[in-house]
Amino acid sequence: MTHARQQIREAVVSLLTGLTTTGANVYDTRLYSHNALPSLTVFADAESINNEVSTKTSQMRNLTIRVEARVKGTSGAEDIVDTICAEVDAAIYDDTTLDGRALDTNLEATVIEYSVEQDQPIALAILTFNVEYRVAPGAPTVLL
């Protein structure tokens, strides 16, 4: 069985695959071809345990999931990034339990950056989500 973080990350990837603007260009690794843009990259960034609400039979965790939206081009890139952000936000809001794997998922922040290091400028939005979930203590593969 896979770690709960991986199960959650894979659920986010599945949920975001097929959005109107990014289509199948959704990756669960930061290593991918930048030729496949616009795209989304999903990764787990940090995790903490909420000991105040954890018990001997249930450990509450908060996982930071980041979704990076990348767009290449000089014309309209900022508008396209905003459209992708709206699509991602709506998709997550429609299934905040990530198909029953999480108790709740909330957007915490969005950061927008621009880079001219490629052959064409890249617009990047980083959406940060907090995913609250529960596992059995000592069994990080068992979601409760």
CATH class of domain segment(s) 4-139: alpha beta
> Which residue type, as a one-letter code, is found at position 91?
A
pTM: 0.92
- Reported as a single tens digit per residue, the pLDDT across 23-67 is 999 999 876 666 788 999 999 999 999 999 998 999 999 999 999
Which tokens in the block code for residue 41?
């990259």
Q: Which residue is listed with tokens 């890249």?
A: 122
In sequence order, the 6+-apart residues with CB closer than 8 A to the CB of 10 are: 2, 28
Which tokens in the block code for residue 137?
């203590």
Q: Is 140 in a helix, a strand, or coil?
A: strand
* Whole-angstrom distance, CA of residue 54 vs CA of residue 103: 14
**What are the residue ranges spanned by the domains of the chain?**
4-139
User: What is residue 143's predicted lDDT score, i.e. its pLDDT?
Assistant: 93
